[in-house]
Amino acid sequence: MKVLVACCLLSLLSYSQACPKECSCNANTKVVDCRGRGLYDIPRRLHPDTQELYLQDNRIRGLGSMAFREIPLVRILDLSNNSITSVSPTALLGLRTLQRFSLAYNSLRELDKRLFGPIHSLSHLDLSHNSLWGLSGALGDNLRNLSHLGLGHNRLTRLDRTLLDALGHLDSLTLRGNPWKCDCHLIGLKLWLETYLYKGGAVDEVLCSQPVEMRDRDLQKVPYQLFHACMTTSYHYLFANIHHLESERLLRGHIHGNHAHPSSHTLHVPMAMGEGFGGGGGAGGSLPECEPKQRHRPVNLRHAIATVIITGVVCGVVCLMMLAAAVYGCAYAAIMAKYQRELKKNEELAAARAAQHTTQDEKEPLENAIA
């Protein structure tokens, strides 16, 4: 018993000795609290068993290579409300158990795609209130287990859909407060949001800042018809997605007493194809960085043409299948008829030979008796 008590005391003593003087440490919970201490750098002499490190409200300006090598078991790391402008691509090297990481309220402009490479357990990432102008799509390869991503209040004008598609376990996403440029390049984000919300994901809002005619309009509620000029190359793909989502929405509404998912209202906003962004009769309807608008066709005519094409393809396939079946049937019938004729011929030949053999057998005893 005395030995056990002595070991515990030694453990507590070693933990207290490993605690930086600028911080407070709890040996039982393995929490190190360094909040609001005016620190300019990551404190040293941290105990290697530390699981939670709080560094909010300090003056830290950057994270160097392997900045947290002393605490490889840390699960929660909070660096919010500092002055961080740069993060080394290897700053988090060795933190294989990190689950929650916050860099909110800093001055970051970009993140290297290799930053989260060694981490596969990260579930909560907060990058809000920075100056990020973009995120590499390659970041998604290392964030596949992420359940929350905070990107609000940055300088994002667009977002790589490759990154979003990789976040298969994402439950909540914050995008508010970014200067979104609602042009042709944002169609991918709108499509992704439709699917994400339909599956039960949560997102705050994506308010357009550009062009002027779209300012303060929520991207989720902007009709696809306003992006018609951008669909020169992806026209069929885009409307196939819309049709699929609309069909699923109607099916779910029928099953649940016509109570459609809250996000589905964005799929059914009627508006004339020639209507401008400002809602006027057509003035100010051009999209920046998009091709000039072509003469539109009514929605019903477009659907009719698509229906005729699909019907023609289906009928053609059916006709080819019927033709193949007819050819196969004729060939099979011819082969069977030939087989039956040969079989009957062989039976007749066998019967004739048997009759001839019987006649010879009857003649032989008669000839012997006469002799």
- Domain with 233, as residue range(s), is 15-270
Q: Is residue 89 part of a domain?
A: yes
CB 150 within 8 A of CB 123: no
Q: Is residue 247 part of a domain?
A: yes
The structure's pTM equals 0.60
Q: Is residue 190 part of a domain?
A: yes
Q: What is the pLDDT of residue 365?
A: 58
Q: What angle do CA 106, 104, 158 make, to 5 degrees?
A: 90
Distance CA 201, CA 249 (A): 15
Q: Is residue 209 part of a domain?
A: yes
Q: What is the pLDDT of residue 175?
A: 95
CB 56 within 8 A of CB 22: no
CB 205 within 8 A of CB 180: no
Q: What are the C-alpha distances in Å from 16 to residues 11, 30, 177, 238?
A: 9, 11, 43, 61
Query: Pick from 187, 170, 174: which is nearest to 132 by CA?
Result: 174
Average pLDDT across each block of 10 residues of the chain; the chain has 371 residues. List them in order.
Answer: 40 58 93 95 93 96 94 96 95 93 96 88 96 90 92 93 90 94 86 90 91 87 70 49 57 52 40 37 42 48 77 88 88 85 83 75 57 54
230-260 burial: b if 16+ Cβ within 10 Å, else e = bbeebeeebbebeeebeebbeeeeeeeeeeb
Q: What are the C-alpha distances in Å from 82 to residues 54, 186, 310?
A: 12, 32, 58
Q: Is residue 119 part of a domain?
A: yes
Q: Is residue 85 part of a domain?
A: yes
Q: What are the C-alpha distances in Å from 78 to residues 43, 46, 101, 107, 215?
A: 14, 15, 6, 15, 34
In this structure, how many other beta carbons lie within 10 angstroms of the beta carbon of residue 140? 21
Number of domains in the chain: 1
Torsion angle (degrees, nearest 10) of CA 281, 283, 284, 288: 90
Q: Is residue 248 part of a domain?
A: yes
Backbone phi, psi, residue 52, to 5°: -135, 130
Q: What is the pLDDT of residue 291?
A: 44
Alpha helices in 199-234 (DSSP H): none
Q: What are the C-alpha distances in Å from 345 to residues 332, 338, 340, 342, 352?
A: 20, 11, 8, 5, 11
Q: What is the CATH number of the domain that holds 222?
A: 3.80.10.10
Pairing of strands 24-26, 31-33: antiparallel
Q: Is residue 230 part of a domain?
A: yes
31-40 burial: b if 16+ Cβ within 10 Å, else e = bbbbeebebe
Distance CA 254, CA 195 (A): 19
